[in-house]
Structure 1
């Protein structure tokens, strides 16, 4: 991973210079005195508003498919520079503006559902940046503010990933750092710690840029040449300290070991493909099942001919069978026959009816060649407005598109740790990979599995972003991750985040590899959610402290 990112340091340097230039623009904004700003008189103005937009766009480009990962640092730095010294309410507005500029492009894949759904969700997500912007504006008045500002990002992601309807933790800062020197921090404190370190580097760049501006002003105020030397030294020292601290954080990640040794297990991932992309793939249920049966038969033929080693387990994606194999004899027969042909357990993604027929379960079923369907996992985090409808009676009258969700998906009640032959797997389904708890709950397994169906969002940024999340999860938990998608992107990810295999979209694909099955736990596994909550509490405490100090200063003026 180090070799992947080192050539990009020049891009970081250029972006840092751009952040410093942007700070010049922000400093040039006509503003009132510091006392007036503390009393709430500061306004955003067009220059700061445009800088907030630039911040959001920089952060977007750090995510797949652009993958310009160094831009996350100037993106964060620009937002912090924009918020520095502003009143809380102005910070909230600037935070929202940056959020809109970020979430609209990063969630562009949702346009396949509808432009209204895409833009509405982007706007809702941007709202979470408003309290974060207010908080950062407050804490930049405190000593050591880059630390408190970085904690604010963690607090924002904690809330956004939980509220409402279980939250939507897509596009966290950590998910932009899945093949960089910061990635190994995931094994120490999970995705929240990677977010913290990423935001801290950006905050240090902002701190350095502000130090440069202050020193330049002091030099400009010097009446003769005797003052310029000390002013130049005053410029260099804080900038050097900030850059050294940022470099230490980045370099420190390279020193964290990411072990890959483990018991070798041969695995296979099947991507059967769908007949057509888009929202109507569900109408092609039998064709999708047949595609996965056909690809598995091809795998069995390759094994018999000696082209590939016989796998010990096979993984099918989510929605590989939208025909309930428990009640549809044709689906049962087709699956059972091909599992017997390959001769090893197959994890089958299937939609099944609940016993009362009122709801649907999104299952990963362990199908054994001797005994048929056995243990299974039911998706615990169904997608609101996609797999179940809050306020169904009202929304179905207003939006006809919701007629495509005639029944709600039931919630699973237990983790997806299951036995497949001689190996323990931990299954999560689709966007559950974005949730810390759901993945942490199955991290005790030897291999992790992500079953997904991205046919609706094909050829957008969302499948690539989901793979990026899987890469971070592999490092976080020190586990091989098998990503099986109906139409792509499927992948086999090593415990250190390396891509062992990766499919293209909308083509059948068969991936076979020998991977390490591991049982050791990472520090992140042992710490659980503690680092995230600790950093969020730190952010809240810093904001309260800053607000109290501001109130005292206002009273004294």
Structure 2
């Protein structure tokens, strides 16, 4: 029984037996500093799971660590830990933007890291519920759902699904796309966090030699059962991808050639003088035509050039038109040409297009990029921001967005054209496949970010899209990395960066769609909504607990 309040210490004026307030505050600061540092380390570890490092198991380690760090924390603490993890993650992941400036790296990293604030808060809140790894996995999907859409149409770089294309999780994309892969990764990590937490609690007990009795004579064995179940479920989730059939059988094939003409120099000024890059692609195509005529190479059915292969509008510049026409006539088959085209109705705007160029009739059907890159291909609030950020004046004209998918008949093949960063957006690629594309072409220009890791990060997206849609994917890049990806996600051919090269391949064409194509975004919406609802339930239960005397409050939970 308590015998009354502690006596006053005459030396300090504090009650004996209680540490001074500054000492308690200092301990709290040290404790939170350690947690913050651990969260920041988890962000760096997560970045190492992505190309160019490709250490995909680290995605599990990082997500599990953040789950453990936020478990039992207050909502505010969870939000702070989310930011502490998110900022270093995106700083490392997006460091390829340093060719523009480190301020651009930090600015975009900070914007993207802000999405980890509600994620961390949600992880802390939902960790109060049973089955918390499940709700946490749904919250990861919700975070990516939001980041895929806002601001300015979103920027889905850094999704967990893009880190694990070399893992057993990849086939799950054929069932539910990138969101299902992200969910499986996050769920596995959460279950591993349960195992790690149980192991951490068991070590002090073992050292003390405690013989705690759980009332059933097991001496503490019962708490190990949930950990064992979590470990078994984690293992089952990892290998579940092996049970998913990935359809790859082709209805027929088409012979293609992918031309990588190269650029004169990497970086912001890769374009050089007009016609230089176009001349490179014409030259490489003429060499291909010579090899065909000499019998060294089988004649392709079509040729694919990358984004911005022509930096001049061939409709308005006769020299560009003549150069492309010469290449098409020499090789004798249609060329899918990436070109910048002046908008015909809106003066001052430009369109980023893929144009089907026939060797006899010239330019025909075209696709206009639907999702121009903000601050790269157009400047939001140009009049206001360009006065403050003079670097934005290097984007002289805004790109006009297209309004339809890129399904084009290129020779005998019905291909789906997707331009550059559009490969990161689920709906653009899915709509293209559902509109009839039998294979996918990613026309891209990564010359600005050559040898930075960005081309590798984009290539893994092509691998995931191949499995998600059961389609072969051709990546055509001005300076690399160009590649041919099979419908099972295998990279069959690829080029080196900043070399002139030509890839030839028999490309499988498929008509069958995957379950992911048929159900669309339903899994993403469902998982995201479940994650948000779990936070709402935890909040309501927490308020109800406080109303009944503080049982289950954050403070009591942290003491436990």
Aligned-partner SS, 1:280: coil
The superposition leaves residues 343-380 of structure 1 with CA deviations (integer Å, 9 ceiling, x where unpaired) of 11110000010114320000000111121100000000
Q: Residue 524 of structure 2 corresponds to which residue in structure 1?
A: 532
Distance 2:130 2:453 in 1: 39
Alignment match of 2:397 (pick from 398, 401, 407): 407
Alignment match of 1:359 (pick from 326, 329, 349): 349
Q: Residue 491 of structure 1 corresponds to which residue in structure 2?
A: 483
Distance 2:314 2:30 in 1: 61
The superposition leaves residues 58-79 of structure 1 with CA deviations (integer Å, 9 ceiling, x where unpaired) of 1111100000111110110000
Q: Residue 452 of structure 2 corresponds to which residue in structure 1?
A: 460
> Quick check: 1:427 aligned with 2:424?
no
Q: Residue 473 of structure 2 corresponds to which residue in structure 1?
A: 481
> Quick check: 1:340 aligned with 2:332?
no
Q: Residue 513 of structure 2 corresponds to which residue in structure 1?
A: 521
The superposition leaves residues 403-449 of structure 1 with CA deviations (integer Å, 9 ceiling, x where unpaired) of 11121100101100111111100011010000001111111311100
Report if the CA contact (8 A) 2:259-2:306 is conserved: yes
Alignment match of 1:373 (pick from 347, 352, 363): 363
Distance 2:315 2:265 in 1: 26
Q: Residue 240 of structure 1 corresponds to which residue in structure 2?
A: 228
Unaligned runs of 5+ in 2: 1-27, 551-560
Alignment match of 1:119 (pick from 106, 120, 132): 106
Q: Residue 181 of structure 1 corresponds to which residue in structure 2?
A: 168
The superposition leaves residues 243-264 of structure 1 with CA deviations (integer Å, 9 ceiling, x where unpaired) of 2111111111011122222112
> Quick check: 1:149 aligned with 2:136?
yes
Distance 1:44 1:153 in 2: 26
Alignment match of 2:280 (pick from 277, 288, 291): 291
For residues 92-241 of structure 1, the aligned pairs below 5 Å read: 92-216=79-203, 224=211, 230-231=218-219, 233-234=221-222, 236-241=224-229
The superposition leaves residues 300-342 of structure 1 with CA deviations (integer Å, 9 ceiling, x where unpaired) of 1122222222111111000000110000000000001110111
Deviation at 1:46, TM superposition (A): 1.5
Report if the CA contact (8 A) 2:354-2:368 is conserved: yes
Q: Residue 61 of structure 2 corresponds to which residue in structure 1?
A: 74
> Quick check: 1:394 aligned with 2:384?
yes
CA RMSD of aligned residues (A): 1.8
| Bigger-Rg structure (1/2) | 2
> Quick check: 1:273 aligned with 2:262?
yes
Unaligned runs of 5+ in 1: 1-40
Distance 1:515 1:479 in 2: 10
Alignment match of 2:72 (pick from 85, 90, 96): 85
Larger helix percent: 1
Report if the CA contact (8 A) 1:155-1:539 is conserved: yes
The superposition leaves residues 276-315 of structure 1 with CA deviations (integer Å, 9 ceiling, x where unpaired) of 1111113333110000001111111122222222111111
Report if the CA contact (8 A) 1:459-1:505 is conserved: yes
Report if the CA contact (8 A) 1:216-1:235 is conserved: no
Report if the CA contact (8 A) 1:215-1:235 is conserved: no
> Quick check: 1:250 aligned with 2:238?
yes
Following superposition, which runs of at least 4 residues in structure 1 exceed 6 angstroms of deviation? 41-44, 225-229
Report if the CA contact (8 A) 1:218-1:231 is conserved: no
Distance 2:420 2:231 in 1: 39
Deviation at 1:381, TM superposition (A): 0.2
Report if the CA contact (8 A) 1:44-1:90 is conserved: no
Number of residue pairs matched? 517
Q: Residue 23 of structure 2 corresponds to which residue in structure 1?
A: none
Distance 1:186 1:484 in 2: 23
Distance 2:417 2:273 in 1: 25
Report if the CA contact (8 A) 2:171-2:245 is conserved: yes
TM-score by length of 1: 0.90
Report if the CA contact (8 A) 1:219-1:231 is conserved: no
Distance 1:469 1:354 in 2: 30
> Quick check: 1:315 aligned with 2:304?
yes
Distance 1:222 1:62 in 2: 39
